[in-house]
Amino acid sequence: MVLLTCYNKGCGQKFDPATNSDACVHHPGVPVFHDALKGWSCCRKRSTDFTEFLNIPGCSKGPHSNEKPPEPEKNTEEDPAYKEEVIVVQPPKIAAPLERPPADELMVNLPVMVSPSLKQALEKKLQELSLKSEIVENDSAETQGVPVGTCCKNNACKKRYEDESSNSDTCVYHTGVPIFHEGLKYWSCCRRKTTEFDNFLEQEGCARGSHNWFKKEDSAQKVVCRYDWHQTPSAVSVAVYSKVPVPEKSFVQANAVKLNIHIEFEGGEKIYDNDFILHGVIDPQKSNVKMMGTKVEINLKKAEPGSWAKLELPPELVQSNELEVVTDDMKVVQDE
């Protein structure tokens, strides 16, 4: 007697074809593997262990069969009840870096905000400078010949030199500097304000002293200021430590890759000038400057989020970038 092997799924027993009856317990469906669960499509029992899955008892009875079941056909129209959702995980797309503009683009003045602490410190400093200038007597008229008709160089004084008696006349003038802000025109040394330029020119001085027949040489001293910087993913902040900066005489200019700083501080007695070729690209239209009593804070908006390795571009990269621009210009000329 030859025994045959039953190939029904889930059975695998030996049987005698002569006495084959409905004693085969098997699975008529196909294996289903979904979300770590293993089971058969013909019944609901599921298991996470592969051995337990193989030992799941059949759910149908019938005669044994020694014929191997055909391979399941790949059906494009799968049963939606058992259709697996395929999730494709892709790495985030890295945006292409912005093209670096040339450093010789047009510079724009960044808007300036003046803190209340600076206004108080500046007023005190200008008073000190005014007292200092009154102590120093103007001996220019005595030591040098003054041409008749020479106009006094003090602000708002319109007196002209006639003879030696003019040196003893009292000069009424402004010790401060002119300020033009939001349509108003006035002197930093007094509070009289006007919207008319002619009225501004006719404003009488607020201080008294001696006439100055010769223009004073600029005694401001150029110095090097300490500065530091920090950054966030979207902005860069540069702090220049310069006490009592003068807003009317100071400015910060920028384009996408260059920063130009001119600060007159200590009431105008000192000057700080510096240019930076920035490491990254900024948006000048969204950048600004804040002047305080002890420092000038420059807030630069990054053109794209990210981190800068340094504030300035290394000199060798600056030269390389300039060389590339020159080479590109030469190519354009040759093409033309």
Q: DSSP string spanning 179-197?
A: EEETTEEEETTS--EES-H
pLDDT value of position 322: 52
Task: Return the percentage of the chain with pLDDT > 90, whole number.
Answer: 26
Q: What is the pLDDT of residues 179-214, one digit of tens each?
A: 777 677 887 777 788 888 778 878 888 888 888 887
**pLDDT at 221 exceeding the cut of 80:** yes
Please give the average per-residue pLDDT across 296-300, as a whole number. Answer: 97
Locate the domains of the chain by residue range: 4-62, 108-118+220-315, 154-213
47 within 8 A of 107, measured Cβ to Cβ: no
CATH architecture of 154-213: Irregular (4.10)
299 within 8 A of 289, measured Cβ to Cβ: yes
pLDDT value of position 289: 96
Distance from C-alpha of 207 to C-alpha of 159, rounded to nearest angstrom: 15
Tell me the range of 33-37, 139-143, 213-217, 234-238 where mean pLDDT is highest: 234-238
Instruction: Give 164's DSSP letter.
Output: G
Please give the average per-residue pLDDT across 2-14, as a whole number. Answer: 81
Distance from C-alpha of 7 to C-alpha of 160, rounded to nearest angstrom: 125
CATH assignment, 4-62: 4.10.1130.20
Sheet of 184-187, strand order:
178-181, 184-187, 193-194
265: which strand partners? 270
pLDDT value of position 262: 94
170 within 8 A of 227, measured Cβ to Cβ: no
> Residue 266: is it exposed, middle or buried by C-beta count within 10 angstroms (0-12/13-18/19+)?
middle
Find the length of the chain. Answer: 336
The more confident residue out of 330 and 173 is 173
Please check whether the domain covering 108-118+220-315 is classified as CATH 2.60.40.790: yes
Q: Which residues contact 226 (CB under 8 A, 6 or more apart)?
A: 240, 241
108 within 8 A of 254, measured Cβ to Cβ: yes
Q: How confident is the model at residue 331 (pLDDT cuts 50, 70, 90)?
A: very low
Q: How confident is the model at residue 232 (pLDDT cuts 50, 70, 90)?
A: very high
Q: Which residues contact 101 (CB under 8 A, 6 or more apart)?
A: 255, 256, 257, 281
Q: Tokens 């300490």 belong to which residue?
A: 226
Task: Give the pair of three-digit tokens for residue 175.
Answer: 């010790």
Q: Which residues contact 294 (CB under 8 A, 6 or more apart)?
A: 241, 243
Integer angstrom CA distances of residue 210 from 127, 164, 230: 17, 13, 49
Integer angstrom CA distances of residue 324 from 3, 300, 314, 327: 86, 26, 16, 5
**Topology alike, domains 4-62 and 108-118+220-315:** no
Please give the average per-residue pLDDT across 236-253, as a whole number. Answer: 92
The more confident residue out of 175 and 75 is 175
Task: Give the pair of three-digit tokens for residue 88.
Answer: 């494709």
Q: How wide is the angle at C-alpha 125 spanned by C-alphas 121 and 126, nearest 5°?
A: 120
Instruction: Tell me what the pLDDT averaged over the chain comes to.
Output: 80
**pLDDT at 58 exceeding the cut of 90:** no
Sign of CA dihedral 182, 183, 184, 187: positive
pTM: 0.48
